[in-house]
Amino acid sequence: MLEEQVKAALENVRPSLQADGGDVEFVSLAGDGTVSVKLTGACGSCPMSQMTLKMGIENYLRKEIPQVTAVIGV
């Protein structure tokens, strides 16, 4: 199932975020392939969080799972 693939891929991203005092939580997956996540800890208040979200998490998920079209923070 696509949601399980997304959750597994996020587990691969989490150690990098946790090393900087942050984390990412899966929120939902829309029918159009948009993944909603919540950045927490240091990542939740970091001024670079949008770059982390788009250039890091979104790029990784789209590469690993072609059905993912976008990643948004909530």
The tens place of each residue's pLDDT in the chain, 74 residues long, gives: 899 999 999 999 999 999 989 999 999 999 999 999 999 988 888 888 888 888 899 999 999 999 999 999 99
- Alpha-carbon gap, residue 65 to 27, rounded angstroms: 17
pTM confidence score: 0.91
Question: 10, 30 in Cβ contact below 8 A?
Answer: no
What is the pLDDT, as a whole number, of residue 5?
A: 97
What is the pLDDT, as a whole number, of residue 42?
A: 87
What residue ranges define each of the domains in the chain, with the CATH number in brackets?
Answer: 2-73 (3.30.300.130)
Give Cα separations from 23 to 16, 57, 59 (angstroms). Answer: 9, 11, 17
What is the pLDDT, as a whole number, of residue 52?
A: 87
The count of other CB atoms within 10 Å of the CB of residue 46 is 16
What is the pLDDT, as a whole number, of residue 40?
A: 92
H or E element, residue 70: strand 70-73
- Alpha-carbon gap, residue 7 to 15, rounded angstroms: 14
